[in-house]
Amino acid sequence: MSQHYLFLTGKLAEKSLHKVLAGMEPRDFSYEVMQIGVSVAALMTTDLIARRIKDVAKFDKIILPGRCRGDIEELALQLNTPVERGPEELKDLPQHFGHAAKKTDLSRYATDIFGEIVDAPNMTVEQIIATAERYRQDGANVIDLGCLPNTPFAHLAETVQALKAAGFKVSVDSLLPEDLVTGGRAGADFLLSLQRHSLWVLEKVDATPIIIGTPPTSLRSLYRTIELLLKEGVRFIADPILDPINFNFTESIVRYRNLRNRYPDIEIMMGVGNLTELTHVDSAGTNTLLMGIISELGIQHILATEVSEHCRKSIKEADLARRIMYASSADSIPPKGYHNGLMALHERKPFPYTEQEIREFAEDVRDPNFRIQVCEAGVFIYNRDGIWNATDPFDHYPNLNVFADGGHAFYLGVELARAQIAWQLGKRYEQDEELAWGIAVERASQDLANFKQEGSTMPTREDRKKRRKNKAKKDPKLDARRC
């Protein structure tokens, strides 16, 4: 027996909600729509709902607008019926119900991230610990201490010990075997990078080596070292080296494939910095593509860096990408639809409404409050006095009549600027909300159980009283109408 749902909405969204629900075929539920007497669905609250609806016994569930604020658990108890928030945009209802039964699990991954602090010798122990904490928050499993050529690292042992005391796994990355011995004796878990001639370091420390060929890109040399360590039963991680684009990048990917084909069970590392750091492109896409290759080849470790300014989120990007790729592989489907965090510039469905639908919304507005919506045709702003379309906020300004209201003008300027960016880039715009930039920008989490504070541009009660008095002085009829 199918479930029977009650969808609550406001006056302006009622027609659109009916249209969306009618187009959801096939569906495994029946439904009714109730318009509860508010103009804008987003202004609905659980307290208001509790006062206005009573007899809901025939419904299996009540679906609220996605931006409805208040305690839905308390509302469910009051109505004795399950209550659920729908998506923020009602146009997303089909996807909401299509994926409701499937909870995406992004807790799993198969690749560890080594986060390299490249200028560790020039930092204090406290600075290194602070950077390591940030890397750990962003997803790093191991903190890699990069040693610089011709730069003493006198506090290397102290740093390793401090990191270990703080609960970090640590690797030491140096061209000098002496640094590797110092780091290993201090408790480092991994040593980068050893070649056949420097394997003597392993006789002095108890750490896992990351091995490379001699020269570093030589697979033949790497194979010989692998065979030696396999024979001795020593754990190791092999790195055939990823080269930059136009410096044998494609050939280096082939090296990784050949290494994996020859040794299906060994641990492999890929240092992704030669691509992310040396390619001027947003790093999220680069990290995602590399994590796809890493997933296909079963590579267990990556070395990530955040040296260049445009790579400031590389570790966080790699962390999300490895989780998406693991889920994609486990589900045997392409890596799409799992998470939007790696889509910083564009969105899959940026414009939920057409120009015609926006104009239909505008026809039902009876108050002076401005609404802003974006579609392919431009940025629309409307109230009871009309609807205007432009793509530049300056072109909208003459129509808004806010010359004497600085706070309102400021608010509309901010919102129209956001809307312009959304239209230019193909992003979802929601009035009164910041644009989403994936994991590139942290967004404050919304507590829908509580109500938003008034913004600094909102007039206080005293401001509103003064404004009414001033209007009444200019227009005596206004004062009479209020009586």
**Residues 303-344: pLDDT tens digits?**
999 999 999 999 999 999 999 999 999 989 999 989 999 999
Do 166 and 30 lie in one domain? The reply is no
| Shared domain check, 350 and 327 | no
The answer on 200 and 248 residing in a single domain is: yes
- The residues, ordered by sequence, that sit 6+ positions from 4 with a Cβ below 8 Å of its Cβ are 29, 30, 31, 32, 58, 59, 60
CA distance 34 to 277: 55
Are 293 and 399 in the same domain?
no
How far is 153 from 176, CA to CA, in rounded Å?
11
Residue 98's pLDDT band (cuts 50, 70, 90): confident
For residue 466, tell me if it sits in a domain: no
> Would you say residue 417 has pLDDT above 90?
yes
Instruction: Return the closest-CA partner of residue 45 out of 16, 17, 8, 89.
Output: 8
* Domain annotation covers residue 337: no
The answer to the question of residue 69 being in a domain is: yes
In this prediction, residue 69 carries a pLDDT of: 86
Instruction: Give the model confidence (pLDDT) of 260-300 as tens digits.
Output: 999 999 999 999 999 999 999 999 999 999 999 999 999 99
CATH code of residue 81: 3.40.50.11600
Same domain assignment for residues 181 and 204: yes
227 domain residue, yes or no: yes
Domain of residue 17, residue span: 3-98
Distance, CA of 362 to CA of 382 (rounded, Å): 6
CATH code of the domain covering residue 199: 3.20.20.20
Hunting for tokens 């989780």 — which residue is that?
Answer: 323
Give, to the nearest 10 degrees, the angle between helix 14-22 and helix 355-363.
Answer: 140
Res. 467 pLDDT band, cuts 50 70 90: low
Last residue of a domain, one of 98, 131, 162: 98
What average pLDDT does the segment 150-169 reach? Answer: 96
Instruction: Report the C-alpha gap between 389 and 374 in whole angstroms.
Output: 9
| 104 pLDDT tier (thresholds 50, 70, 90) | confident
**Torsion angle, alpha carbons of 278, 283, 288, 290, to 10:** 10
Number of H helices, E strands in the chain: 17, 15
Are 151 and 292 in the same domain?
A: yes
* Whether residue 255 sits in one domain with residue 139: yes
350 & 210 share domain: no
- 319 lies in some domain: yes
Distance in angstroms between the alpha carbons of the first and the last residue of the chain? 57
Higher pLDDT pick, 347 / 26: 347
Is there a single domain that holds both residue 181 and residue 288? yes
The encoded tokens of residue 438 equal 């994936």
**Which pLDDT score is estimated for 462?**
58
Are both 389 and 319 inside the same structural domain? Answer: no
Distance, in Å, from the CA atom of 335 to the CA atom of 322, rounded to the nearest integer, reads 11
Longest alpha-carbon distance in the chain: 99
Q: Tens of pLDDT along 402-415?
A: 999 999 999 999 99
Asked if residue 114 has pLDDT above 70, the reply is yes
- End of a domain among 305, 331, 357? 331
Q: What percent of the chain clears pLDDT 90, i.e. is strictly above it?
A: 75
Whether residue 306 is found in the same domain as residue 257: yes
Query: Is the same domain home to 70 and 200?
Result: no
Is residue 203 a part of any domain in this protein?
Answer: yes
Question: In the chain, how many domains are there?
Answer: 3
Q: Is residue 157 part of a domain?
A: yes
Residue 450 has pLDDT above 80, yes or no: no
Phi-psi group of 227: left, alpha or beta (phi > 0 → left; psi -120 to 50 → alpha; rest → beta): alpha
35 within domain boundaries: yes
